[in-house]
Structure 1
Amino acid sequence: MGLRNNLYFLGQIILSLSIVSLAAKKVDNEVNIWPMPVSVSHGNRVLYMSKTFELKTNGSKYKDVSGILKDGFSRLLDVIKAGHVIDDHSGGGVHHLTQIQGIHVVILSPNDTLIYGIDESYKLLVPAEGKPVYAHIQANTVYGALHGLETFSQLCYFNFKNRKIEVRHVPCNITDQPRFSYRGILIDTARHYQPISMIKKVIDSMAYAKLNVLHWHIVDTQSFPLEIPSYPNLWRGSYSASETYTMADAAAIVSYAQRRGIHVLAEIDVPGHALSWGIGYPQLWPSRNCKEPLDVSNEFVFKLIDGILSDFSKVFKFKFVHLGGDEVDTSCWETTPHIKKWMNEHKMVQSQAYEYFVLRAQKIASSHGYEIINWEETFNNFGSKLNRNTVVHNWIGPDVAPQVVAAGFRCIVSNQDKWYLDHLDTPWQDFYMNEPLSNITNPKHQKLVIGGEVGMWGEHVDGSDIEQTIWPRAAAAAERLWTPYVKLAKNVEEVEGRLSHFRCLLNQRGVAAAPLNAPGREAPDGPGSCFMQ
């Protein structure tokens, strides 16, 4: 290689190192918390973590009998160490730094039942001085305290010179609470099976971004992977015997999520998207040649739905259940003689039979203590007939949510043009700027938007690529759903560095988050610092 080429490559290396150095300095000077809290004030001092860093709870009404807080503290230690070996000796030039001895957590409520709308607020104080120095978290519930622990973790860094954990930006005073009570991710285990270990990894990563609802789209046309004890033949609709979940598996997932402050919303999508149901019970199909939607004229269909929801009620304790109701093509009913006869006898046309099915399924769900979420087509077709407690799930476009809340219904926003993760050409900037209250100005109507959700539909996603398809774009939506509107950036360039830092933090914690500036889930575009991708 010639001298000119050698000098060129040497220059490129020096330039790259300079960029990385500048990026590191920028990261060092910023308070890189994601999502941004309601209020942050901070200094520039540094503490380092004592090797006996501990959790104190004296003065707390919460006794942690179930170990939720203790486990959360253990996870905190794991993520801030990020696999590094901490120097337990007192040397390394750190004598001049003040040690932080632990975190003192005071929780005002003794109850750790996870209910929808629970208080998730917290206050975090990290003082610069004290005898001894402790960080302080105060929260009304243990779930607010978990959010406080997550925020504290993002103030911590491994110092490679002295091999210790630093706590930066001290003194630090943070007050925080979520903007919306529903902050979700949908995962789809029907188009591709997701291993239980991967579902748990998704739950862990949701907690890092302070998302609180895992919408589990369990079954669909292609497969029925969940055991239903009341109707065991439904399991025959799975892809294979090993690509299934027992009810005990489902209960374990619900418990795992609950201990991290995350609800699990179960969905069965009826009457469409249910061809797989008939593998085990062919009588659910209108006919052998016409297998969707479910046979509206067959009483066994509703008996089976009742059995499913009865089994659900023993495991899925979230107050809501999702009944789908989208993309229903009723032409099959019109061309099936016995259903056509039934509709004539009941003086119904296809659209009325669709309405009948959805409303009857709603009554069954209500009888098991659930409030119902339905996709927006149910509102678009017969909104005034829906149960008044229905939450309408907007997904098709941005114009429906204002109509839903104006009609007095609650709404979840998931408009596909901005918040569908399977749309790989939708960049993180669009996820960040998608505003759930767009064109909703009446304060009473704004309160009916309970939150939003990003959709990780599974046609092209399995255990090999789900994490990099979700992250970091879901994090952009997470800040939109957590942070007060007045604190959100009006220009995405203002948050790019902080989001890039969070993406690298996810990587350090073992989450396969894709590069920030690549579309969808592409690999890095050549060598470079994580912070510059």
Structure 2
Amino acid sequence: MKKTRYVLALALCGLTAVAHGATPSLIPMPAQLSESGEGFTVTAQTPIVVDGGDADARGAADYLASLAAHTRHLALQVRTGVPESGAIVLKRDPQAPVANAEGYVLDVTPQGIRVTARDGAGLFYGAMTAWQLLTPAQGSGDVRVEPVHIRDEPRFTWRGLMLDSCRHFWSTDEVRTVIDQMAQHKLNVLHWHLTDDQGWRIEIKRYPELTRIGAWRTPPTVGKQGEAKPYGGFYTQDDIRAIVAYAAARHITVVPELDMPGHAQAAVASYPELGVTGTRPPVSPDWGVNPYLYNVDDHTIEFLHNVLDEVMALFPSTYIHVGGDEAVKDQWKASPTVQARMKALGIKSEDAMQSWFIEQMGKYLMAHGRRLVGWDEILEGGVPPSATVMSWRGTQGAIDAAKQGHDVVLAPAPQLYMDSMQSDRPDETTGRLPSMSLESYYRFEAVPKELNAAQAKHVLGLQATLFTEHMPTFRHIEHAAFPRLDALSESAWTPVKQRDWRQFLARMPSQLARYRTQDIAYADSAFAVSVDVDRNAAITSGHASVTLANQAKFGNVHYTTDGSEPGASSPLYVRPFAVNLPTTIKAVALADDGTALAAARTRVLDLPSLRTRSTGELENCPGSDFRLRVQPTPDATSMAPTYLINVFDNCRMVRAARLDGIAGIRVETATLPRNYALAHDAKLVVAYKSTAPQGELVVRLDSCRGKEIASMPLPTDQPATFTLQGAVAKQAGTHNLCLAFTSPISGPIWGVGAVTLLPADQASP
């Protein structure tokens, strides 16, 4: 009762607080935290005090003040001078009881909030924790901060996020938004992917064609989409200097990546003599693994050294990333010149040739006081002793490299690849499958169990990766990154024994509120309520048993059955409940304070909707598990619509369809570009025999080799979207349906938006 009265009294006074004894909503969770004594109320009259002449402390204080003003509408003034009572104090102390420069101590007492650290980074991270204490929930004005003693420092030295600016180009303001969120999550490495087949994004003054030509591509079009406009952009050297400085002020190191020897098509398009064939390709409009490599002559090595000179002048980071991934060696194998070079060097294989190539870069970087980092393919054929390996093909690369004595960074796909979707929900946006949930990010362990204690010391840390082929807008970036970045930050910062998934979820409502105040379009996939029924049983009986749940299994789920918006006064879901058809279910998960954890989700339950499967509810046909959710064009400007496709097999499966009384089928279809470079996997693409030049959509019963029960010709003019509707041979019972497009595989991919089974009275075209 005392706790309830305490919170109520604060509410009546216009203050916000967390009930005494509750775990503060801090992310990442500090290494050590205890609570005792009395707290402190921060008001507009509370100053932030730093020592005069301490530029790092002043920078942290100014950033704390700007965040408090933006997210809490609390105007705090920064002062210099003697620490005073009733203030937020940021003070450097060489004797602070922390183990490294990023550690800090934070105390909240009736006299104020005090942060001490040995170095500027620690003061900054302490200031970020202080800001989170000031924002325990969405609100504005004065805030009561509970008494805490925090002694904190990170588990890993590399806490990273990779941003791909090649596949899609992000403005400098958007890059700064990423940096600000990294800072608030105590991440300290921005790995910036700046060159690839689809675009060269960094100005190199010595080689202007790299951006005049290499920064622009022409997106693919199909059918009636019309002529495409060039897409692209690049960062000037002044842009880069400003971004590097912006990151440094937030204690983030920017590590640039220039991919080599593969993923070089944009560079070869700019300067064909850098390539193996001597011909000029276009800047690639295709996602995937393109064939263009740098050649291995002295001119190209000198070119890349000259590029690195300008890169090192822009980026003061110790590490320079040189890629090294997905270098298909076909061009090298077919080139007499490359083969002669290998023979002259005494190199026996193309993998060893790549190792030699990477070594030329590693030696050059070492001579300039820098270190090379590359994707785990650099292990093939040998790797320079000084190289750091970034493991992306699972964790085996990290295991092998650490056992060989190399430092490693864990960035495995799909576990930490943010282009993997966050859920299998029908209303998800673009990305790869399988999905990687918020919980999977939280439970990721960066130190492989295969390493002993000495080998484990080579694990520098971990990194999430934002490859952006299927993220055409910055809203896609925000949806993919947040809130999974919260889980990653805790995995990277917090000791294993301090991590607790359920407690993490309890801290998430405050973090989601911080996102809302900063206009961060985070995904609510983990908390969105799914409305599940047995569709076939409902079709047969006219009523349905409804089950409600969300991915995280968190929150209080409330629902309505009359189409109204659910809230805290709506029925609380406890167990499955029955409804008669037709009805509309709306459901939402609420935090304990009544705030919504996700937008309410709606499901209409009637015969037409139960006979319809949306794109996300369709499955792959047997034979290939590749799944990708895409938008109608590679450079779409919205989040929807999306289509779940398999680039190897243009076929979708409707599972367990009740066909009693069904006389027709309607398929909402989209014409999608087949812009996928598959390299050696191109041979896996399935082709279906057609009876018309443009092909048809064939529906087969039970399997893709089953009886044909429907066939609908595809349009010859390839409109952007269209509807196919046709008769279905009479069937009884429940069956799988295989929907295969028989058009030539040199043409577009057909995306299925929805499939609806039609009874006799609706089946006429």
- TM-score for the superposition, normalised by structure 2: 0.58
1:168 corresponds to 2:145: yes
Correspondence for 1:481 among 470, 492, 509: 492
What residue is the counterpart of 2:371 in the other structure? 371
1:102 corresponds to 2:87: yes
Cα distance in 2 for partners of 1:158, 1:40 equals 16
Higher relative contact order (CA 8 A, sep 6+): 1
Give how far 1:167 is off: 3.2
| Cα separation, partners in 2 of 1:43 and 1:195, compared to 1, 3 Å | same
Residues 43-122 of structure 1: pairs in structure 2 closer than 5 A:
43=36, 45-58=38-51, 63-65=53-55, 68-83=56-71, 85=73, 101-108=86-93, 119-122=101-104
Instruction: Report the AA paired with residue 439 of structure 2.
Output: Q
Cα distance in 2 for partners of 1:430, 1:85 equals 35
Give how far 1:516 is off: 5.3
Contact 1:503 1:515 in 2 (8 A): no
Cα distance in 1 for partners of 2:184, 2:481 equals 13
What residue is the counterpart of 1:123 in the other structure? 105
Contact 1:157 1:165 in 2 (8 A): no
| Cα separation, partners in 2 of 1:321 and 1:155, compared to 1, 3 Å | same
SS at match of 1:219: strand
SS at match of 1:306: helix
| Cα separation, partners in 2 of 1:294 and 1:159, compared to 1, 3 Å | closer
What residue is the counterpart of 1:138 in the other structure? 116
What residue is the counterpart of 2:406 in the other structure? 409
Contact 2:418 2:465 in 1 (8 A): yes
Instruction: Report the AA paired with residue 333 of structure 1.
Output: W
Correspondence for 2:239 among 249, 252, 256: 249
Give how far 1:37 is off: 0.4
1:352 corresponds to 2:352: yes
Contact 1:295 1:333 in 2 (8 A): no
Matched residue count = 475
What residue is the counterpart of 2:466 in the other structure? 456
Contact 1:271 1:328 in 2 (8 A): yes
What residue is the counterpart of 1:341 in the other structure? 340
SS at match of 1:321: strand
Contact 1:159 1:165 in 2 (8 A): no
Q: Deviations over 1:446-489 (max 9, x none)?
A: 11100010000010123232122111112101101100122122
Q: Deviations over 1:316-342 (max 9, x none)?
A: 001001111111111111212332333
Instruction: Report the AA paired with residue 139 of structure 1.
Output: A
Instruction: Report the AA paired with residue 243 of structure 2.
Output: I
1:400 corresponds to 2:397: yes
Residues 433-444 of structure 1: pairs in structure 2 closer than 5 A:
433-444=443-454
What residue is the counterpart of 1:469 in the other structure? 480
Contact 2:41 2:144 in 1 (8 A): yes
Give how far 1:366 is off: 1.9
1:155 corresponds to 2:155: no
Residues 21-36 of structure 1: pairs in structure 2 closer than 5 A:
29-36=22-29
| Cα separation, partners in 2 of 1:159 and 1:409, compared to 1, 3 Å | closer
What residue is the counterpart of 1:228 in the other structure? 204
Give how far 1:183 is off: 0.2
What residue is the counterpart of 1:8 in the other structure? none
What residue is the counterpart of 1:271 in the other structure? 261
1:496 corresponds to 2:472: no
Cα distance in 2 for partners of 1:100, 1:49 equals 12
| Cα separation, partners in 2 of 1:437 and 1:448, compared to 1, 3 Å | same
| Cα separation, partners in 2 of 1:290 and 1:345, compared to 1, 3 Å | farther
Cα distance in 2 for partners of 1:441, 1:183 equals 20
Give how far 1:26 is off: 7.9
What residue is the counterpart of 2:215 in the other structure? 238
Cα distance in 2 for partners of 1:290, 1:339 equals 18
Contact 2:376 2:389 in 1 (8 A): yes
Give how far 1:119 is off: 1.2
Instruction: Report the AA paired with residue 69 of structure 1.
Output: A
Cα distance in 2 for partners of 1:25, 1:531 equals 18
What residue is the counterpart of 1:296 in the other structure? 295
SS at match of 1:193: coil
Gaps of 5+ in 1: 1-23, 89-98, 111-116
SS at match of 2:195: coil
Give how far 1:230 is off: 2.1
What residue is the counterpart of 1:40 in the other structure? 33
| More helix as a share of residues | 1
When structure 1 is superposed on structure 2, of 263-272 and 505-514 the one drifting more is 505-514
Contact 1:158 1:164 in 2 (8 A): no
SS at match of 1:276: helix
| Cα separation, partners in 2 of 1:518 and 1:86, compared to 1, 3 Å | closer
Cα distance in 2 for partners of 1:406, 1:375 equals 16
Q: Deviations over 1:408-453 (max 9, x none)?
A: 1111001112111001111011111110112145221111100010
| Cα separation, partners in 2 of 1:312 and 1:25, compared to 1, 3 Å | closer
1:532 corresponds to 2:597: yes
Q: Deviations over 1:259-293 (max 9, x none)?
A: 00100000111000111002221101111569644
1:186 corresponds to 2:174: no
| More strand as a share of residues | 2
Contact 2:410 2:446 in 1 (8 A): yes
| Cα separation, partners in 2 of 1:441 and 1:241, compared to 1, 3 Å | closer
Cα distance in 1 for partners of 2:20, 2:483 equals 18
Instruction: Give the % identical residues.
Output: 24
Q: Deviations over 1:338-366 (max 9, x none)?
A: 32333344443322322221111212222
SS at match of 2:381: helix
Residues 188-203 of structure 1: pairs in structure 2 closer than 5 A:
188-203=164-179
Contact 1:285 1:293 in 2 (8 A): yes
- TM-score for the superposition, normalised by structure 1: 0.82
Q: Deviations over 1:225-252 (max 9, x none)?
A: 2101122221120026971110111111
Cα distance in 1 for partners of 2:317, 2:294 equals 29
What residue is the counterpart of 2:318 in the other structure? 319
Q: Deviations over 1:65-112 (max 9, x none)?
A: 4xx432432332332344555599xxxxxxxxxx973222221369xx
What residue is the counterpart of 1:20 in the other structure? none
Cα distance in 2 for partners of 1:134, 1:198 equals 35
Instruction: Report the AA paired with residue 238 of structure 1.
Output: A
SS at match of 1:382: coil
Instruction: Report the AA paired with residue 66 of structure 2.
Output: D
Cα distance in 1 for partners of 2:136, 2:476 equals 29
Q: Deviations over 1:42-66 (max 9, x none)?
A: 14744322323222234xxx8234x
| Cα separation, partners in 2 of 1:232 and 1:86, compared to 1, 3 Å | closer
Cα distance in 1 for partners of 2:335, 2:182 equals 45
User: What CA RMSD, in Å, does the superposition of the two structures yield over aligned residues?
Assistant: 3.0
Instruction: Report the AA paired with residue 260 of structure 1.
Output: R
Cα distance in 2 for partners of 1:351, 1:486 equals 42
| Cα separation, partners in 2 of 1:484 and 1:86, compared to 1, 3 Å | closer
Gaps of 5+ in 2: 1-16, 77-83, 217-229, 282-290, 422-434, 529-549, 551-564, 566-585, 599-765
